[in-house]
Chain A
Amino acid sequence: MPEIDRRDFLKIAGLTAGAAAVACKEPVHNIFPYVHQPEEVTPGIATYYNSMCRECPSGCGIRVKTREGRPIKIDGNPDHPLSQGRLCVRGEVGHMRTYDSARFAGPMKRGADKALVSTTWDEAQSLFVEQLKKAAGKAVFLGGLETGTLDALLEQVLPAIGAKHRLRFEPYAYESLRTANQLVFGTEAIPQFKLGSADVLVAFGTDFVETWLSPLSNQLGFSQARSEGRGYAVFVGPRLGLSAANADQWLAPNPGTEVLVALALASEVAKRKPGVPESLKALLAKYTPSSVAEKTGISAIAFERIGARIANADAPLALPPGVEVQGTNAARFTAAVQILNVVSGAIGRTVVFGPDHNLGKLARFQELSELAGKMRGGEVGLLMVHGSNPAYSAPQVGLADALRTGNVFTVSFASAPDETAELADLILPDHTAFESWGDAEPVRGVRTLQQPTVRPLFDTRATADVLLDAARALGATVPAGSFRDQLVAAWGGRPSFDAALGKGGEWKDVAPANVSVASGVGAIDFEPSPLAGNASDPVLVVYPSHHLYDGRLTRVNVLHEIPDPVTKTMWGSYAELHPETAAVLDIDLGDVITISTDGGQVTVPAFPHNAIRPGVIALQAGRGGLPKDPNAPMEPHSYWRRNVVGVNAFSLIPGKLDAQSGALAWLSTHASVANTKGRAPVIRAQLTFDQEGRNFGAAMTVEEMEKHGPALPGGAGEAEAEHPEHEKPEHRAQPLPKQGDAEHLETKQYDPAADAHPDSPYRWGMSIDQDACTGCNACMAACITENNIAVVGPENIRIGREMHWLRVERYVEVADEHEVDVRHTPLACQHCGAAPCESVCPALATYHSKEGLNVMIENRCIGTRFCSNNCPYKARRFNHWSYDWYVPEPENWSLNPDVMVRAKGVMEKCTFCVQRINGARDVARKEKRTIRDGEVVTACQQACPSNAIVFGNLRDPEAAVTKLRVDRRAYRVLEHLYTRPATSYLMNVRRVEEA
C-alpha cells in the first residue's frame, strides 16, 4: 500500500469535503433593506395600481399588485365594466413580457456586417430623423390597434414626419363582420353581443371564450347566462374547441358550408316567428333544412329542433363566425348569421348597436397586402412597425421578402425580438405595457387608463415621445411636452386625470342605437366557401391560440407550459385530426407529418383526438415564434430555452381573400398530408380524456336537478329522505357520530367543519362549480404567478414533471350532433380531513393545521415522495431540479415574495393561498374580529372569469362555501375513499335535447 503523507491526506480530505459541500448546496437568496425608502413603498406591503391589459385588443381593466416597486400579480379591476375583477389566462401573465430576459436592452442598428449592434438613443434618434428625411414622405406607420390618446397623437404626428399612410394591423380584424353589418344594417359598427342575456346561443366557429372580440366579458356573460342549468348553446364548426366544449350541441357541417347552416336555421326560425320581413322570408325559403341537409351533412331534424329552440327563446343570440371558419365567403356568411339574428329578434336585445367595439379602424387584410405590393414596387421608403409582427402573423403578403430587398428602411419599435424586428434596420424599443402610459377606448363609453407600474427595466423610450422628438427635429409643429402631458390633457387636466387614474378610467353608458335591415339583403347571393386543393385531402383548419393569442405572447414560457384547454398538449404545435382520418392517412399519435398547401409547408407531430370533425386537419396559429433565447446556458435541462417551439400555422394559409370584406380566407384549402415516418414526442398533460366512470367530473341532467328543488341539502343524486338530518345546514350544530365509531364508518357521514382544531374559528374549504367552469385555464395562470410555480420546460414536461398546483382536467363523455358533454374539473389539493399524505410522511413535513389546512413545510421535506404516491388526487408536485437556478434575471423579478421558492428535492402543493389567509388574519386581528366571509380570496378564485370558485370558512354556517357544500349539485371527488376532502364540486348540468 502506498504511503499517504500529510499533504496527500489533506488534499484528499479537502476534495471529499468540497465535493460534499457542493453536492449539498442550496441556493442562497439575500434580502437587503432599502437605503433610501421610496415614498408609497412599504417593504412587505403590496401597492395596487389600476391599469389596462394590453395582451389583446379588448382592453380589460386590470389591477396590478406591486411589491417593492415590481408588478408581481395581475388581477382584473373590479370596477371595470369589461373585466369586473376577473382576468383571462393571458392577462394573468402579462407582466412576464416585461420581465423577458431577451428584451432589447436599448436601441440597436445594423452595423457594418448587417448584424444588429447596440447604439445610443442620440445616435439612433438622429439616424431615424435622417432616414425620415431621406424617405421624403414615403414613410408608412404599421401599428397595432390604438384607440386612445396615442391614436389621436399619431394622427397628428405621423403626417408631420412624412408618414401619410398608417395601418392598424391585427390578425383578427373582424373585417367580415364590419362588411356584413354594412350589407345587412348599413353600418360598419361592431355591436355588443350580450352573451349574458342570451338564453339560446348559436356560435358559428366563434371562439368566444378564447380570443373573439372581448373574450373575458364574453365569458363573464356566458357563465352568467348559464347559471343553475339555464341557457343553451349550439356550436357550429369543424373543431370542438374550448367554446364548443362549453356548448350543449356540436354541429360539424362539411367545412365551407357553415353559411348554409345559418341560413337553414334562419329559415326554420322565420317559419315559426311572426314579424319577419317578406324580403327575408322569400330569401330564406330557398334554404329549407331538407335542401341543405345533404350539402352540409347535418340532418334536417337537427335544424328543425334548433330552429324551434331559437324561435321559442326569449333572447336568442347567434355569434358571427370566428376566423377558423372564415372563408372566401366570409362577409356573406356573417351576413347570414346576422339575418338569423334579425329573424330571431336578437337585434336590439342581445345584439346591441350603440356601445360599439372600437375595432372599426383596423386595417383590412387586403390593405396589408397592398402595402407589401407598394413596398416591392419601391413606393415606400421607410416602414415603422409598432405593436404588431406582420412578418410572423401575415406571411402570405410577403412583407418579409419586401423588407429583405433592402429598398425599405425599417424601424421597429418592438421591445423584445420578434420576426419583424429581426428584419429591421433600426430598433427603437418601446416600453412594455407595464412601463408606459396609455389609454384606450375598446368599447364606446369605456375609457381605460394605463399607467406604469414599474420603472423601465431597460434603456427604452416611449414610441410617442420618439416620434414627437423626431417631428420636432424635422421642424414640424407638434404639441409641446411629452406623451404623458398629452395624456393628462386628453383626460381634462390633473384633477380629473388623477381621479380617473384612481378608478382605472372612466365609463359611461352609451345609448343603444336602432338599426334597420337594409334593402338589398334579399339580393345577397349566399354560396358555400369553395376549397382549393385535392378534395380527398383533409381540409386545413387554422384556429387562434387561446394562450398565445396571435403569437404575441410566445415569449411567456408559462403559457407554453399551461396545457392547451382542448388537446392538453404543451410546448409546441400538434396537427390535430380525427382518429378516423388518421387511420385513413396511416398516421399514429406522435408521427411527424408534413402538411402542405399553396401557402407553405410545415412539419409537425400528429395528435389524433376525437374533438374534431373527420376529414379536417387543424393547427393552432400563434405558435412557432422566434427561438426562445439563443444565448441561454447549456446547463442540463435548460437548453429548451434555445429551441423554437412549434410551427407557424399562419404560413399555411394561402393568401386568398374574401373579395367583399378584404379579409383573409383562413378556411380556404385542402392540405396534402404526408407521414415522414419520423417520431416526435407529443408533450401532453393528460394521456386520456376518458374518466372511466370515476366521476371526477360528475353530471346531472336539468330534469334531475329540478326534481330536487332549489338548494336542497344533502348533495346530489339522492332524495331528501335518504339523507340524515345532520347533513342539513340547520342541524350542523348537532354532533355527528364519533369518528371511528361503527355507525360513523358505516354511513361515512362526516362534518367537514369538524376537521380542524376545536378552538379554531375556521375550517377552510372550497367549492368549484364545474358547470360554470369553461376550462379556460385562467385559474392556473393566476396560481402560477401567485405561488411562484416553476416553469420546467418541454424535456421535463414530456415525462410528466409539470409543477402546476392546480390543473384543469378535461373529460369528454359525449360530443356529437345531439349532445356535448365535456367536463372540466379544476383539481388542486383537496385539503382532506383525513389526508392520506399526512400519515405517510416520515419527517412530519406535511400535517393538518389547526384551521384544517393540509400544510406542507417544504423546508422540513426530505423528499421520500410517499405523500405523492398516496394522494389519490395526485395533487402534489416534486422539485426534481432546482428550478429557480434556471431563471435568468429579470424573469425572477416576478416572484411573489410572500411565497417561498422551493429547493430541489422537496414536495410542494396547493396551500389554499395560505399567505392570503394569513394576510387577512393580520387585518382581522388588528380589528379584533374573525375573518369575514369573502375576505380571503384565493388566486384561482380571483381570476376565474366564470365565478366558478368559492372559498371560505366551513365553520361559518352563513358562508357561501358552506351553503354550496350542500347544494343540490354538490359532490366530492373520490369521497368514497373517506379522505374527507374540503373541496366540494358542483356537478355539470347536462342540457339534454328533448327526445
Chain B
Amino acid sequence: MAAITEPIPTHPDQINDDILRVLEPPTPIYVLMVLFFATLVGLGLVAFLYQTYWGLGVTGLTHPVMWGVYITTFVFWVGIAHAGTLISAILFLFRAKWRNAVNRGAEAMTVFAVLIAAMFPLIHIGRVYKFYFMIPYPNQRGVWPNFKSPLVWDLFAINTYMLVSIMFFYVGLIPDLAAARDRVRDWRRYLYRALCLGWRGSSEQWRHWSRTVLHLSGLSTPLVLSVHSVVSWDFATSMVPGWHTTIFAPYFVAGAIFSGIGMVITVLVPVRKAFHLEGYLRKEHFDNMGKLILLTSSVVGYSYGMEYFMAWYSANPYEQMSFWWRGFGYHWTSTWIMISCNVVSPLPLWFKWCRTNPLWLWVTSIFINIGMWFERYVIIMTGLSHEYDPAAWGYYVPSVTELTILAASFGLFLTMFTIFLRLAPVVALQEVKELWYEDRAHAHGGGHH
C-alpha cells in the first residue's frame, strides 16, 4: 500500500467511533446549511409551478433552440450519477481496494443525482400533466408510446438505473444501519431497526450479503456503460449537425465518469474535513481518483478534438458550419469554458503533488463540474442554434426561471446529501474494517503490496 500519512485507526472499534460520530446531534452550522439548501429547493418549486401555470414561455426556450438548460441539467445529473456505480460495481469487480473508503459517498451521490436527473425530463416537457403518454400502459385507446423514439429508450434506461442504484445503495447500507442501530439510543433506533431488516451479523447473513453485492455489481456494470450511451442517443440518433455522430456513446460515458468523479471529490473533501475522516478518506484515495480524472479527461479531450476533426474531415458543410459557430459564434464563451475546465484544468494532476493535495483536487473538481455542465450546454445549444436552414438560425438565452430550477437541482442534491450525512455512515464501515483486517494480516504476515 502507498505511504500513509494520516493517522490510521488502531482498532476496529475506533473505526466505529470515528465514523459513527456523524450520528451525534447536529451543529447549528449544519442546520443552517440544510435550511439554505432547502430554500433553494423551495424557490425551484415556486419556479416550476409558475412555469406549469403559464407555460414554457417563461423559459428562454425558443425556435430553433427547443432544448436548453433543462436537458443540459438532466444530462449533467445523469452523468454525475455514474461515478457511484463505477466505484461500487466496476471497481469492486476489479478488486480496487481504494474504493472501499469512497464508495458509500459515491453511491449516495448516485442515487440522489439520478433522482434529480429523472425529474428534469418532466420539468422540461410542455405539458407535464400529460407525462404518462410516454409510459406504455394498457389503455382503451390502444395507443402506445413510440418505441422508435430515443426518449422512450431514455425513460427505460433512467428508470432501470434508478432502481438498480437504489437497490445497490440500500443493500450495501444494511450492515452499517445495523451498526447504527446498535449505537444510537434516540428515536432513530426504530428507523434503523426497521431499515436494517434484522441484521445480526451472522456469518450466514454475511455470506448472503456479499453474494448479493457481487451479483448486483455484475448487474450494474453494464448499466454504467449503457445508461449514458442511451442518453447520448437522444442526440446521436437525431440529424442535428453536431449531434449526429457515432462517437457520442463512448464520449458521453467517459464524460459521465469524469463528471461523476469530479462530484465525488467535490462532496467528499469537505466531508472529510468536517467529520475528521482523514484517516479513512486518505490521500491515496484522492491520488487514485486523480488518475481516473486524468484518464477520463484525456478521453473527453480526445473526443472534443475528434469532433472538430470529423467536422473538417467529413467535408459536410452543415457540420463544419455548426462547429465554426460552436468555437467562434454567439456562445463561444461556453465552448472555451468547457475546454479550459475539462481539458486544461486537470492537466496539473499529472503531478503527484497536485493529485494528493485535497484542496487542489477540490478546486479542480469544481472546474470539472462547471466544465461538464457547459459541455452539455454547448452540445445542445450550439447544435440547435445553427442547423440546416440559415433562415431559421437563432440563439438562446436561459431565463431566470430556468436558472432558478437549475440552482434548485443543486439545492436538492445538497439537501439530500447533507441529511444523508447525518443519517448513515458516509464511509462504509464493514468495508473499511475489512480493509483494516486485511492490512493487518499483510503486516503480520510480512505481506507487501
User: Measured between alpha carbons, how far is A692 from B130 in the docked complex, in Å?
Assistant: 40
Looking at A19-27, A391-399, A949-957, the stretch in contact with chain B turns out to be A19-27
> Max chain A CB contacts within 10 Å: which of B60, B127, B152, B318?
B127
User: Measured between alpha carbons, how far is A977 from B150 in the docked complex, in Å?
Assistant: 20
Give B191 Cβ to nearest chain A Cβ, in Å.
14
Q: How many residues of A contact B (CB 8 A)?
A: 62
CB–CB A974/B127 < 8 A: no
Contact flags B232-247 to A (C-beta < 8 A → 1, else 0): 0010011110000000
Contact flags B86-126 to A (C-beta < 8 A → 1, else 0): 00000000000000000000000000000000000100111
CB–CB B390/A694 < 8 A: yes
Q: Determine the chain B residues whose CB is within 8 A of the CB of A839 once the complex forms.
A: 146, 148-149
User: Measured between alpha carbons, how far is A988 from B317 in the docked complex, in Å?
Assistant: 23
User: Measured between alpha carbons, how far is A880 from B66 in the docked complex, in Å?
Assistant: 10
CB–CB B149/A870 < 8 A: no
Please tell me if A892 contacts chain B, counting CB pairs below 8 Å.
Answer: no
User: Measured between alpha carbons, how far is A129 from B391 in the docked complex, in Å?
Assistant: 58
Looking at A53-61, A294-302, A312-320, A871-879, the stretch in contact with chain B turns out to be A871-879
User: Measured between alpha carbons, how far is A905 from B59 in the docked complex, in Å?
Assistant: 12
CB–CB A799/B60 < 8 A: yes
Q: How many residues of B contact A (CB 8 A)?
A: 54
Q: Determine the chain B residues whose CB is within 8 A of the CB of A860 once the complex forms.
A: 133, 143
Q: Determine the chain B residues whose CB is within 8 A of the CB of A845 once the complex forms.
A: 133
Q: Determine the chain A residues whose CB is within 8 A of the CB of B397 once the complex forms.
A: 799
Other-chain contact of B126, A637, A696, A827, A863 (Cβ < 8 Å): A863
CB–CB B390/A692 < 8 A: yes
CB–CB A862/B131 < 8 A: yes
Contact flags B40-80 to A (C-beta < 8 A → 1, else 0): 00000000010011111111111110110000000000000
Q: Determine the chain A residues whose CB is within 8 A of the CB of B269 once the complex forms.
A: none
Residues of chain A from 601 to 636 with CB closer than 8 A to chain B in the complex? 636
Give A957 Cβ to nearest chain B Cβ, in Å.
32
Q: Determine the chain B residues whose CB is within 8 A of the CB of A800 once the complex forms.
A: 62-64, 394
Looking at A155-163, A436-444, A682-690, A745-753, the stretch in contact with chain B turns out to be A682-690
Given contacts A869-B67, A880-B56, contact A862 B127 (CB under 8 A): yes
CB–CB A843/B146 < 8 A: yes
Nearest B residue (CB) for A974: B388
CB–CB A870/B133 < 8 A: no
Q: Determine the chain A residues whose CB is within 8 A of the CB of B321 once the complex forms.
A: 692
Q: Determine the chain A residues whose CB is within 8 A of the CB of B311 once the complex forms.
A: none
Q: Determine the chain B residues whose CB is within 8 A of the CB of A866 once the complex forms.
A: 66-67, 149-151, 234, 238
Where chain A touches its partner, the secondary structure class is loop
Nearest A residue (CB) for B134: A842
Q: Determine the chain B residues whose CB is within 8 A of the CB of A809 once the complex forms.
A: 389, 391
Given contacts A688-B393, A869-B67, contact A801 B151 (CB under 8 A): no
CB–CB B391/A23 < 8 A: no
Given contacts A23-B49, A860-B143, A904-B56, contact A801 B391 (CB under 8 A): no
CB–CB A861/B127 < 8 A: yes
Give A901 Cβ to nearest chain B Cβ, in Å.
14
CB–CB A694/B57 < 8 A: no
CB–CB A636/B63 < 8 A: no
CB–CB A881/B390 < 8 A: no
CB–CB B394/A865 < 8 A: no
Q: Determine the chain B residues whose CB is within 8 A of the CB of A870 once the complex forms.
A: 238-240
User: Measured between alpha carbons, how far is A882 from B131 in the docked complex, in Å?
Assistant: 18
Nearest B residue (CB) for A809: B391
CB–CB A869/B238 < 8 A: yes
Please tell me if A844 contacts chain B, counting CB pairs below 8 Å.
Answer: yes
Give A792 Cβ to nearest chain B Cβ, in Å.
9
User: Measured between alpha carbons, how far is A688 from B143 in the docked complex, in Å?
Assistant: 42
Nearest A residue (CB) for B129: A24
Q: Determine the chain B residues whose CB is within 8 A of the CB of A694 once the complex forms.
A: 317-318, 388-390
Please tell me if A796 contacts chain B, counting CB pairs below 8 Å.
Answer: yes
Given contacts A840-B150, A862-B131, A864-B151, contact A801 B63 (CB under 8 A): yes
Q: Which 10 A-B pairs have the closest CB atoms?
A: A863-B126, A905-B126, A904-B55, A874-B392, A880-B57, A865-B66, A809-B391, A842-B151, A905-B127, A843-B133
21 A–B contacts from the bound complex (CB under 8 Å): A636-B54, A685-B391, A687-B390, A696-B389, A696-B390, A696-B391, A840-B150, A843-B130, A845-B133, A862-B133, A864-B124, A866-B151, A868-B63, A869-B64, A869-B67, A872-B389, A874-B389, A874-B392, A878-B66, A904-B57, A977-B239
Interface residues of B (CB under 8 A from A): 49, 52-64, 66-67, 121, 124-127, 129-131, 133-134, 143-146, 148-152, 155, 234, 237-240, 317-318, 321, 384, 387-394, 397
Interface residues of A (CB under 8 A from B): 19, 22-24, 636-637, 685-688, 690-694, 696, 796, 799-802, 807, 809-811, 825, 827, 836, 839-845, 847, 860-866, 868-870, 872-874, 877-882, 903-907, 974, 977
